[in-house]
Chain A
């Protein structure tokens, strides 16, 4: 099976702009979780989608949002970008959810200037 893919791999944006990141899970996986990885805070949970429904959300402001499509592909959106949003954004797919084996994508490196 093909692994988890994410696009784009690298992105440079300016403060105040918005950005959309995409994640394609492993075929058959219905759960997609998103994480923000930074050197200072490590891996932090953003939200999880299962069968097009957001099941939970981490402690991030409302500028961070997401959605999942019927083919399980997921997107996350960050509006009104801030310098502190610069990070590696990782998605992970699982057949059932974060309480089972999760497979990470390569990540999208977002730089906000």
Chain B
């Protein structure tokens, strides 16, 4: 079946450093790629998303890049802060039956130390 691979599974950085998380998807028809942040004991929250007709999108310290040819997309966080510590999930849309669904990567635990 369709899947999304996410790397690395854990990432430790110093405050102020950059963090990069990479995902690869298998369905060439995928056209929507969101990123979610989940803090311990809390619900996943959408932090940024990108559609297949765009190569890059930025929102303050967060950016996402998409390479449709290679079928991979990445999350970039600059000037990391301790409050960025969380689990980050990437996802890709796939078509199923009459609708669409999101297939999620297994997550990356980001730890930012001060």
Give the B-binding residues of A (Cβ under 8 A).
33, 35, 42-45, 48, 50, 53, 55-59, 90, 97-107
Per-residue A-contact encoding for B93-114, CB less than 8 Å = 1, 0 else: 1001111111111110000000
User: Is B54 in contact with chain A by the CB < 8 A criterion?
Assistant: no
B-side contacts of A99, CB under 8 Å: 31-32, 93, 100
**Given A43-B89, A90-B44, A107-B43, A48:B99 Cβ within 8 A:** yes
Q: State whether B93 touches A105 (Cβ < 8 A).
A: no
Q: State whether B100 touches A97 (Cβ < 8 A).
A: yes
The residue from B1, B45, B93 contacting A98, defined by CB atoms under 8 A apart: B93
Q: State whether A42 touches B106 (Cβ < 8 A).
A: yes
Q: State whether B104 touches A42 (Cβ < 8 A).
A: yes
A-side contacts of B107, CB under 8 Å: 42
A-side contacts of B93, CB under 8 Å: 98-99
